A and B are shown apart, each in its own frame.
Chain A
């Protein structure tokens, strides 16, 4: 199947709000899932409340086509997914193996593309990935290798916040991920730049500056957005993004104590 056609026929929906991952045992303790919900039933419950999720585990290990195929029947009609690129191509790059891994990754997510469920492939780069010559070269090669997939790039280091980078992403029709992060000097800033007219992509990481530096995930993403903060997004930033792209996805990554689904529901209500 022609990939572009497959992707353009993805359920459009102007904007979709969801969370980064859905299978967190602690979300049962926090009341998002009924107590004792087994992991295999979480996706069905999640999909009743949100139209999209970001597959987190594909960052930890290479997706397997067979497992993806088994997941498909669990997705209700109209439900979409974004998938993270595996860490061996972003955080732990093996200069000799990454090309082979890119090919493996394509194979692994093929069922999602064929079923027209994949709206974005997130290339999340680590804070240490500065805009150096070698990193620029690597990123260009990686994006070439993944051509044809609905790519979205998230920078963490602020050195990438330059017009030449945005222009290149625009030329390649690749989405620049808009981030909401703590106000720390080295982090990529929150910008309203849209580089792909088909899709904008916002990731909410929380604004816990102290936790961000702790090196502990449970502290880094421990943050609950207030209604006022989300109101500003829904009334000011998101309208600006929607004027520049046909569709958009907003993903909450502040998963600790089920704050992500809580904020996602708040934002969805504010945008209605």
Chain B
């Protein structure tokens, strides 16, 4: 059965929310940034500010130089959350499968199989937008497609205003003429490699077979071919049900740029994450770290894990690698977040070679022993040195 996924996207969400409250902000460049902070950066901006050359993450001082009559507003996360909640509330009658973004004005609504109740999916999309305009004074973009990936690309095409319908079965042809950077999942290193090969458009890549792409992209070739062909089976998660993942946070009492302090914290977080995964009987296939700098800038990096694992001894070197990728600036770090996601049940396959198998069993036994001690005597009963 064809799926019908609606993507609702309020462009420049934070600015759109502020404009509801202050009409003087309409038709003028607006930037959301913590004005008082040292070396503050742009969190969000209006279309007018974008046209003036301002971009997210840009230093506020630089933005002010680019645009003299800039209105600067401090970030109001609670306000955005409230608006996001109202947007979600409007979509609730149409489907139980609604996946909102994180205070960013994005919403995926899966209306597959609802047409007998609510009419054609395209009409539902149009009504959602009409309601948002009328009741919330927000003017979202909407796109309708057979999967989340294509719906998201379609709404990117019409930004900052408009709508786009991609007929089921038309995904590959729809994506073919587009620049590769528009496709979600194609990341900066992929783009750099594609550019080196002078591959700028989707159809230039999809005409190559996976074996050719694998020469450059190794294991990632299959994934790249898949997304560029518009194939995406990812479900729209039911409301309130995030994909299972383990999230752990640490906020430093004093902002730090000490690698040792950060590594020690990451080790502690990995231990807790590993314990949580093992108690759920799951293993993780991806680990990511978010670093929030003291100037408000954020860096997120992640790597895939193959084979998936829940073992602290395997997870820690990987986490340290991600930390090195995430923390590259000299600015102090205020907060670290470790996420283990893409959780699966542990694979039955054991390491093939004797030496690897031996190490694997040793690590498993050690982790099991530490878990056993902690369960009996408490978390502090046994500790591990990071070095």
What 1/0 flags go to A159-183 for Cβ under 8 Å of B? 0000000000000000000000000
Cβ-defined contact, B118 with A38, below 8 A: no
Size range of the chain A interface in the assembly: 20 to 34
How many Å lie between the Cα of A56 and that of B123 in the bound state? 10
B120 touches A40 (CB 8 A): no
Q: Could you say which residues of chain A place their CB within 8 Å of the CB of B164?
A: 61
B107-126 CB mask vs A (1 if < 8 Å, else 0) is 00000110111111111011
B168 touches A39 (CB 8 A): yes
Task: Indicate whether B306 reaches chain A with its CB closer than 8 angstroms.
Answer: no
A-B contact pairs, 20 of them (CB 8 A): A25-B113, A25-B115, A26-B115, A36-B1, A39-B2, A39-B169, A57-B122, A60-B123, A60-B165, A61-B164, A61-B165, A62-B162, A67-B167, A70-B170, A70-B173, A87-B126, A216-B119, A218-B117, A218-B119, A257-B116
4 extra A-B contacts, CB within 8 A, seeds A40-B170, A67-B174, A218-B116 = A38-B168, A39-B169, A66-B173, A217-B120
B177 contacts chain A at the CB level, 8 A cutoff? yes
Q: Is the CB of B167 within 8 A of A40?
A: yes
Q: Which residues of B contact A261 (CB under 8 A)?
A: none
Q: Is A248 an interface residue (CB 8 A)?
A: no
Chain B contact patch, size range? 20 to 34
Interface of chain A: mostly helix, strand, loop or mixed: helix
In contact, B163 and A60 (Cβ under 8 angstroms): yes
Whether a CB of chain A sits under 8 angstroms from the CB of B4 is yes
- Are A38 and B165 neighbours in the complex by a CB distance under 8 Å? no
Are the C-beta atoms of A38 and B119 separated by less than 8 Å? no
Task: Tell me which residues across on chain B come within 8 A of A66, comparing CB atoms.
Answer: 173, 177
The reply to whether A67 and B119 contact each other, CB–CB distance below 8 Å, is no
A60 touches B116 (CB 8 A): no
In the assembled complex, the Cα of A57 lies from the Cα of B144 at a distance in Å of: 11
Selected from B1, B120, B125, B170, the residue in CB contact (under 8 A) with A21 is B120
Asked whether any CB of chain B lies closer than 8 Å to the CB of A79, the reply is no
Tell yes or no: A50 within 8 A of B by CB.
Answer: no
Q: Does A29 reach chain B (CB closer than 8 Å)?
A: yes
* Residues on the B chain within 8 Å of A216, using CB: 119
Mask for A12-33, Cβ within 8 A of B = 1, else 0?
A: 0000000001011110010000
Q: Which of B199-242 contact A (CB under 8 A)?
A: none
Kindly list chain A residues whose C-beta atoms are within 8 Å of the C-beta of B117.
Answer: 218
Q: How far is the CB of A29 from chain B (nearest CB, A)?
A: 7
In residues 1-34 of chain B, which contact A (Cβ within 8 Å)? Answer: 1-2, 4
Most buried by A among B125, B167, B174: B167
Binary CB contact string for chain A from 62 to 78 against chain B (1 if under 8 A, 0 otherwise): 10001100100000000
- Chain A 33-46, CB within 8 Å of chain B: the 1/0 string? 00010111000000
Question: Is the CB–CB distance between B126 and A60 below 8 Å?
Answer: yes
Whether A40 contacts B115 by the Cβ 8 Å rule is: no
Cβ B2 vs Cβ A25 within 8 A: yes
The answer to whether A40 and B116 touch across the interface, beta carbons within 8 angstroms, is: no
Residue of B nearest to A70 (CB): B173
Chain B residue numbers with a CB within 8 Å of A62 are 162
- Judging by beta carbons under 8 Å apart, are B167 and A24 in contact? no
Q: A36-B1, A60-B126, A67-B170 are in contact. Are A24 and B115 (CB under 8 A)?
A: yes
